[in-house]
Structure 1
């Protein structure tokens, strides 16, 4: 047997968003049904380098989705300026659960962007108004691109309003999508007034308040991935229907972590987990639903589900490079 190596371009090509969205939705369902194992994300803090490592193992067993893997990912904010490297890099090891053979090693950075966009798409599909045609983006970094591409798979998006403190980033985003959508620069309130809003910033002081969103806006809070990060004002969270991806992760490092830790927001203020909605244990949007918020921290089961479809697509298309990493002689 040989291991398949997939670089970032090959992952990007084979992690097709419709497939990844379906895989991530199934991952949420499997986790809710108890058909998955996902130990808590572990951290190695490296203050001397102003960075950290995170390990994310998982396994899901749900029919065709018999898959296991681990993602090793970092966050080093000084990388772009000091080393000409991305802030976030990741490597995914995708394994055969029956034998533990490493079926694939693939770029985890492109995979993370795809599965993160897919998670927002799943939440949007269940929580946004059916006829949503406008999308607001607060933050025009790399994650904003897959937010638009994935959400456009589940809603007929026509208008996009993007807000960012960096005018050059905004212009690059407009240049990338101006031929496909009606894209324009706007304020946070203009972005928040759209049918769907995705926030993808690393801020620790909230920048979106209740007056910045519409009466029925669905918000994907994607930026908070560590303690102290906080994009949405407490009064917005308290007035909205809040859906999380995982209680332990969200209360530790998700959008709700700060108000939850301070006792401002409690379990009674959290409507439920996205998996409960996917499997039908809780309702998604109804006629009476106002503002909704999806607090996404990113789950390891999303990575393994996305890796599964990426690997299958790559094998079918003959993509990647096969190599003999393991001596398969019986011992």
Structure 2
């Protein structure tokens, strides 16, 4: 068992480097989703460079009422040449760090260099990880947290050096991070400034969304892989069904990082993440190598 969690900075660096080195997010096998009585079992295998690996994730929506994490799991890292098991990592810690790190890689390429005002929806582990990750790539000075439970949101905001706000605060945001389990839009997309960048990470189901058709329709939309987004990202799938988005207009994260994309001015920018197996592998391998060193 490899103890601890990868650092945010190391995860961001490893993910960016893998994309610059030619990793193709479209090439990996799709995530297997198996419905069970209390939720879902997710199986996420990947291979890249000298490593392979697989993450087993459990998603149990009812766990919140039990005081347990909604998402749990474990990651098995393998030698790429022999498929010999090398390490077992905490799936919760890995997922928390890598999700925010992917968002930070995208935000670093999308957000204005002086972006300092951040609105975060959610008050859980992903909200916390995203605040840390965004602070590492932009000069964040003002963080507003929006949550459903007033007391929990206030306690969370106090703990991360933020203040409690409301959905309408997106009208003054440079970056908006959606880190919730919501199945319907969190805010009115018409309020977004044309200079805003939105990252949405909360759902991987085609009938759930955190952002509305207005947000998607107004924005340049970046995804990890178009094939995964059109299958799993409700924010994308529903906008396509509504006629708010042309699937051919989706921008891949790899092309964005490699500088192959010209971002049109005067439009918000949206990064929609569903979480992919290559991300776990890259971050797990970097953490394994750091632990060995």
How high is the TM-score relative to the length of structure 2? 0.93
3-state SS of paired residue (2:4) = helix
The C-alpha deviation readout for 1:271-317, integer Å capped at 9, x for no partner, is x111111112213x56x24200001111111100110111122223x
The C-alpha deviation readout for 1:211-269, integer Å capped at 9, x for no partner, is 33222000001112112111111022111111111112211221212222455432144
Which residue in the other structure is 1:38 paired with?
Answer: 28
The alignment status of 1:22 with 2:6, answered yes or no, reads: no
Residues 31-70 of structure 1: matches in 2 within 5 Å? 34=24, 37-46=27-36, 48-49=37-38, 51-61=39-49, 66-70=50-54
Distance 2:171 2:42 in 1: 31
The alignment status of 1:256 with 2:264, answered yes or no, reads: no
Which residue in the other structure is 2:245 paired with?
Answer: 265
Aligned-pair Cα RMSD in Å: 1.9
Q: Is the 8 A contact 1:143 1:200 kept in 2?
A: yes
Q: Is the 8 A contact 1:134 1:157 kept in 2?
A: yes
Distance 1:55 1:165 in 2: 30
How many residues of Structure 1 are paired with residues of Structure 2 in the alignment? 292
For structure 1, the 5+ residue unaligned runs are: 317-331
Q: Is the 8 A contact 1:188 1:212 kept in 2?
A: no
The alignment status of 1:223 with 2:202, answered yes or no, reads: yes
1:16–1:52 Cα change, 3 Å: same
Return the offset for 1:171: 1.7
The C-alpha deviation readout for 1:72-124, integer Å capped at 9, x for no partner, is 10111112324x43110011001111121111001111100100110110011
Residues 158-237 of structure 1: matches in 2 within 5 Å? 158-178=141-161, 183-237=162-216
Return the offset for 1:35: 8.9
Distance 1:299 1:198 in 2: 18
Return the offset for 1:189: 1.8
How high is the TM-score relative to the length of structure 1? 0.83
Return the offset for 1:67: 2.1
Distance 2:116 2:58 in 1: 35
For structure 2, the 5+ residue unaligned runs are: none
Distance 1:238 1:216 in 2: 15
1:259–1:109 Cα change, 3 Å: same
The alignment status of 1:299 with 2:276, answered yes or no, reads: yes
Q: Is the 8 A contact 2:230 2:237 kept in 1?
A: yes
3-state SS of paired residue (1:11) = coil
Q: Is the 8 A contact 1:136 1:192 kept in 2?
A: no
Return the offset for 1:207: 2.2
Distance 1:27 1:107 in 2: 22
Between structure 1 and structure 2, the one with the greater Rg is 1
Which residue in the other structure is 2:71 paired with?
Answer: 88
